[in-house]
């Protein structure tokens, strides 16, 4: 089965930027951010990488299983990473940049909710795969 190009594109982009942002956070931001801000930034990087890897795996999967909700899952993960991780990056850096981005605060839990929905859909697909094979 061919890789799904958009899932692979977004997954690889999210993974690439997670590595770059992780290195930037660890080496370039330590002296500019408080420990709490740096911890938040690192949380954004971790969650971004988790979901980048899932998008890449979905794009490369073979015929061994079919995700019924694949389009919804990848949409939830894509939008979730953008809202969750990227809002955390911006909120963590707002003091350093001297701008008020607190209005972005609601984007973080909304993005987190989309990530949770994506995982719930994978769980539902897994249950359906198991129950279908038992028949």
Where would I find the H helices in the chain?
A: 5-28, 35-60, 70-97, 107-134
Q: How far apart are the first and last CA of the chain?
A: 26
Give the pLDDT confidence of 70-123 residue by residue, as tens digits: 889 999 999 999 999 999 999 999 999 999 999 999 999 999 999 999 999 988
Measured distance CA(99)–CA(96) in Å, rounded: 8
pTM score above 0.85: no
pLDDT at 1: 47
């Amino acid at each position: 089965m061919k890789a799904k190009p958009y899932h692979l594109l977004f997954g690889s982009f999210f993974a690439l930027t997670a590595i770059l942002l992780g290195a930037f956070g660890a080496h370039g931001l330590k002296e500019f951010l408080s420990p709490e801000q740096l911890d938040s930034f690192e949380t954004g990087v971790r969650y971004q990488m988790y979901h980048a890897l899932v998008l890449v795996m979905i794009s490369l999967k073979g015929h061994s299983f079919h995700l019924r909700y694949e389009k919804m899952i990848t949409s939830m993960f894509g939008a979730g990473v953008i809202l969750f991780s990227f809002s955390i990056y911006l909120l963590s850096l707002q003091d350093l940049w001297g701008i008020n981005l607190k209005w972005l605060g609601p984007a973080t839990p909304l993005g987190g909710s989309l990530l949770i929905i994506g995982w719930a859909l994978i769980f539902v697909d897994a249950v359906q795969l198991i129950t279908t094979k038992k028949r």
